Amino acid sequence: MKRGNYNGKIGIYGGTFGPVHLGHIRAAHAFLDACCLDRLYILPTAIPPHKAVSQADTPEDRLQMLKLAFSEPEYADDRIIVSDYEQKRGGKSYTILTLEHFAEESDDITMLCGTDMFLTLERWYRGEDILRMAHICCLCRDDDPASMNEIEKTAAHYRDTYGTTVVLPPFSPLVISSTEIRARIAAGQSTNDVLPASVRGYIDAHGLYRA
């Protein structure tokens, strides 16, 4: 892709994605629509800075599952690019380094965060730089009204302190996590309701997440 002279509206959606599930996919499509993105980069981490990673898959597995999921006609969109940028860069996948990389492509970057991540953003590595550099789109992972209050307070703090544009679109989440999915697979339970068929096929073929 030609870089350096593109100035469309870019979205960044990073995560572990071990494995990608229908909650992530629903969030990606809501992000595209709510922020009218021209391009959405989905970036699986090399080493996530904030959590221990499951030993039951590899960075390559997580990348391939994302590519499969977003190739399914039901979930594909021309604007979505599954990128190996963070995995190729290696080391801890610090978000600010990713934002600085994509800033060569556009100065209009919005980052997607689930509520869990949004509330802690300021404490991330160079979190203040993240909040000055990117717009933030926060999607609620659950319907807990108490946490909505906390989110709005945090959004106001980011706006007032760093000038961050925070978008809080209405969103009806699928309440699921990769952790729960790995546990279901280890217990031999069905994941038909939470994983795309291609991802289930990949997990079966490679024997991932079994106990």
189 counts as binding ligand ATP under rule CB under 6 A: no
Cβ atoms < 10 Å from Cβ of 163: 9
Closest approach of Cβ 103 to ligand ATP, in Å? 20
CA separation (Å) from 152 to 32, 64, 105, 115, 145? Answer: 21, 36, 30, 11, 11
Give Cα 135 to chain centroid, integer Å.
15
Closest approach of Cβ 97 to ligand ATP, in Å? 17
16 counts as binding ligand ATP under rule CB under 6 A: yes
Candidate residues 11, 59, 114, 196; the one interacting with ligand ATP per rule CB under 6 A: 114
- Which part of the chain contacts ligand ATP (CB under 6 A), choosing from 14-22, 71-79, 84-92, 124-132? 14-22
Which residues does 91 contact at the CB level (< 8 Å), separation at least 6? 46, 47
Residue nearest ligand ATP, Cβ-based? 114
117 counts as binding ligand ATP under rule CB under 6 A: yes
98 counts as binding ligand ATP under rule CB under 6 A: no
- Which part of the chain contacts ligand ATP (CB under 6 A), choosing from 4-12, 15-23, 63-71, 89-97? 15-23
Q: Which is nearer to ligand ATP, 141 or 200 (CB)?
A: 141
- C-beta separation of 113 from 136 below 8 A: yes
**Residue length of the chain:** 211
What six digits make up the tokens of 116? 């869990």
Give the residue ranges of DSSP H helices in 21-121. Answer: 22-34, 59-69, 85-89, 95-102, 115-118
27 counts as binding ligand ATP under rule CB under 6 A: yes
Q: Which is nearer to ligand ATP, 59 or 114 (CB)?
A: 114
- C-beta separation of 93 from 46 below 8 A: yes
Catalog residues that contact ligand ATP under the rule CB under 6 A. 15-18, 23-24, 27, 113-114, 116-117, 139, 141, 173-174, 176-179
